[in-house]
Amino acid sequence: MPYLMGLDISTTGAKALIIDESGNVVAVANTPQPISQPHPLWSEQNPADWWDGIASSIRTALSDANLTGDDISAIGLTGQMHGLVLLDENGDVLRPSILWNDQRTQAQCDYMTETIGFERLIALTGNRALTGFTAPKLLWVRDNEPEVYAQVKQMLLPKDYIRYKLTDTYATDLAGAAGTSLLNVAERTWSSEVLEALDIPADWMPPVHEGTEVTGTISQAGADATGLKVGTPVVGGGGDQAAGAIGMGCVTPDKIGVTVGTSGVVFAPLAEYAYEPDGRLHAFCHSVPNTWHFMGVMLSAAGSLQWYKDTFAPDMNFDDLLKEAKDVPAGSEGLFFMPYLTGERTPHPDPLARGAFIGMTTRHTRGHMTRAVLEGVAFGLKDSFTLIDNAGLPDEFEVRISGGGAKSPFWQQIIADVLGAPLVNINTTEGGAFGAAILASINAGLYEDVATACETMIQTGDKVAVGDDQAVYAERYAIYQTLYPVLKDTFAKL
């Protein structure tokens, strides 16, 4: 039986997953990853830790499945997007990787916008210049660490450093490259206009590939470190959100993905390239060849509930906490929660946005506050859903939901009522690594295309219909939309 492997370099762990040709998960191993915050706003990791972690996870997964490297037909890669890895002429790492959640680069974002022009930058790259993206990080190194910048010969994304260590090949996938702010997203190639405007050498950029294309094969050094077989193909894969969407089966425009993890994501595949003129939605290449996607991201989704529990009810479990909220009527009797605990991205690209409870009275209990948090996150997802809807959703579509926060049927019902759309659960919770393995299945000759693979490997489960509270939430959402504009200047002063 052929087996497929998906590798995921996330911010918190290096995961190796093995599935069979039917999509059954055979083994999963995850090695936790340390993170460094040496200064305010900084967030960094050591690429050597990723390599040690993924090599350990691969060996553990193979052992747990009682398999050898000979049993793996193909490998897909995914991981955190936007991170900057800089290598010298010998392929050695020059400095710690600056991660997606690093916030030090606002001055460089402003420079990019001024140099290229706001409208032109969005037209070319599909996005505003944001502190999380890769290009501003590269400019920051040029501005602040010129001795490092002078040695740069190659720029990679986090998962592509693992690709390099496995295959001795420089390459990246189009979904990941679209998050650098250096790709011409419509043409699916590096933007010579952006590179020239920013004076970034084009030969630092790795070759780009579709998610199902072979980018290299396991080298002898890669095999020695991991137990994989020399010559095993490694495909392009995708950034974590695109690969995660494939793991949900969101590969055609009629399937929308909602992920309620630490952050919240609404993912909408596109058959043709499009972008939101104000840059409030991300427009990226999908890992499905020759397709694109819109994506809205809120930074604190299930993370808001985790913070709330840790702060106000540390001794309670989530089930008991949510049970109190079930006794509170929809709308929390006028109490609102703004889920901007770590700033916001969609629809308000504002790192200075802050969380808030608004409308509190002596009538309100902890149950009201809990329900307000659940509703506030649902309203945040609705912001992205509304922008995508305005850009043009198909007449008929299905919303698939995943993520740790999506495990609660109560919260799912609130989200369905707020979105005004039924939700569909899926059979897997392995996210990006599962999607990366699906992408590898095409090269292994198991399936003709990604959509066919998803139809076979992904099964849908319980459905959540829109309930009676939809009308209440429509009224509350209209009020919610007025809150950020009123408080924006106050947040900045704070």
* CATH assignment of the domain containing 42: 3.30.420.40
What percentage of the chain reaches a pLDDT higher than 90? 89
Q: What confidence score (pLDDT) does residue 1 get?
A: 81
Q: What is the mean pLDDT of residues 416-429?
A: 92
Residues of the domain holding 217: 3-242
Is residue 443 in some structural domain? no
Query: Over the stretch 439-487, which tens digit does the pLDDT of each residue have?
Result: 999 988 899 999 999 999 998 988 999 999 999 999 999 999 999 999 9
Q: What confidence score (pLDDT) does residue 393 get?
A: 80
Q: Are residues 213 and 286 in the same domain?
A: no
Q: Are residues 87 and 224 in the same domain?
A: yes
Tell me the pLDDT band of 69, cut-offs 50, 70 and 90.
very high
Q: Please identify, among 213, 242, 271, the residue that sits at the C-terminal boundary of a domain.
A: 242
Query: Over the stretch 353-391, which tens digit does the pLDDT of each residue have?
Result: 999 999 999 999 999 999 999 999 999 999 999 999 988
**Radius of gyration of the CA atoms of the chain, in A:** 22
Q: Are 108 and 143 in contact (CB under 8 A)?
A: yes
pTM (predicted TM-score): 0.92
Instruction: Identify the weakest region by mean pLDDT among 37-46, 225-234, 410-419.
Output: 37-46
Q: Are residues 235 and 269 in the same domain?
A: no
Measured distance CA(488)–CA(492) in Å, rounded:
6
Is residue 52 in some structural domain? yes
Among residues 8, 49, 240, 469, the one annotated as catalytic is 240
Q: What confidence score (pLDDT) does residue 339 get?
A: 97
Q: Please identify, among 218, 242, 266, the residue that sits at the C-terminal boundary of a domain.
A: 242
- With vertex at residue 481, the alpha carbon angle to CA 476 and CA 483, rounded to the nearest 5 degrees, is 100
Q: Are residues 168 and 259 in the same domain?
A: no
Q: What confidence score (pLDDT) does residue 94 get?
A: 98
Q: What confidence score (pLDDT) does residue 431 get?
A: 83
Measured distance CA(303)–CA(321) in Å, rounded:
15
- With vertex at residue 238, the alpha carbon angle to CA 234 and CA 243, rounded to the nearest 5 degrees, is 110
Write down the residue that tokens 């929308």 correspond to. 256
Measured distance CA(76)–CA(454) in Å, rounded:
15
Q: Are residues 297 and 413 in the same domain?
A: yes
Q: Are 446 and 17 in contact (CB under 8 A)?
A: no
Considering the chain, what is the average pLDDT of its residues?
95
Q: What is the mean pLDDT of residues 396-417?
A: 92
Question: Catalytic: 71?
Answer: no
Q: Are residues 237 and 265 in the same domain?
A: no
Q: 428 or 434: which carries more pLDDT confidence?
A: 434
Q: Please identify, among 183, 209, 242, the residue that sits at the C-terminal boundary of a domain.
A: 242
Q: What confidence score (pLDDT) does residue 394 get?
A: 83
Is residue 437 in some structural domain? no
Q: What confidence score (pLDDT) does residue 51 get?
A: 98
Is residue 90 in some structural domain? yes
Q: Are residues 283 and 318 in the same domain?
A: yes
Q: What confidence score (pLDDT) does residue 403 get?
A: 84
Q: How far is CA 393 from CA 255, 293, 398, in A?
A: 10, 12, 11
Q: Are 24 and 13 in contact (CB under 8 A)?
A: no
Q: Are residues 109 and 258 in the same domain?
A: no
Measured distance CA(400)–CA(423) in Å, rounded:
6
pLDDT > 80? residue 201: yes
CA atoms within 13 A on the CB side of 3: 21
Q: Are 456 and 446 in contact (CB under 8 A)?
A: no
Q: What is the mean pLDDT of residues 114-140?
A: 96
How many other CB atoms are there within 10 angstroms of residue 465's CB atom? 10
Q: What confidence score (pLDDT) does residue 461 get?
A: 87
Measured distance CA(414)–CA(419) in Å, rounded:
9
Residue 426's H or E segment, with its range, is strand 423-426
Q: Are 21 and 173 in contact (CB under 8 A)?
A: no
pLDDT > 90? residue 143: yes
Q: What confidence score (pLDDT) does residue 152 get?
A: 98
pLDDT > 90? residue 419: yes
Q: Are residues 314 and 216 in the same domain?
A: no
Q: Are residues 180 and 254 in the same domain?
A: no
Is residue 228 in some structural domain? yes
Is residue 440 in some structural domain? no
Specify the DSSP class assigned to residue 289.
T
Q: Cis before residue 339, ω within 30 degrees of 0?
A: no
Instruction: Identify the weakest region by mean pLDDT among 9-13, 58-62, 67-71, 282-286.
Output: 9-13
Q: Are residues 298 and 160 in the same domain?
A: no
Is residue 467 in some structural domain? yes
Measured distance CA(281)–CA(387) in Å, rounded:
7
Query: Over the stretch 229-270, which tens digit does the pLDDT of each residue have?
Result: 999 999 999 999 999 999 999 999 999 999 998 889 999 999
**Total domains in the fold of the chain:** 2
Measured distance CA(313)–CA(304) in Å, rounded:
13
Query: Over the stretch 304-326, which tens digit does the pLDDT of each residue have?
Result: 999 999 999 999 999 999 999 99
Tell me the pLDDT band of 80, cut-offs 50, 70 and 90.
very high
Q: What confidence score (pLDDT) does residue 395 get?
A: 82
Is residue 383 in some structural domain? yes
Q: What confidence score (pLDDT) does residue 342 get?
A: 86
- Sign, CA torsion 336/279/189/392: positive
Q: Are residues 238 and 254 in the same domain?
A: no
Write down the residue that tokens 């990853």 correspond to. 33
pLDDT > 80? residue 428: no
pLDDT > 90? residue 9: yes
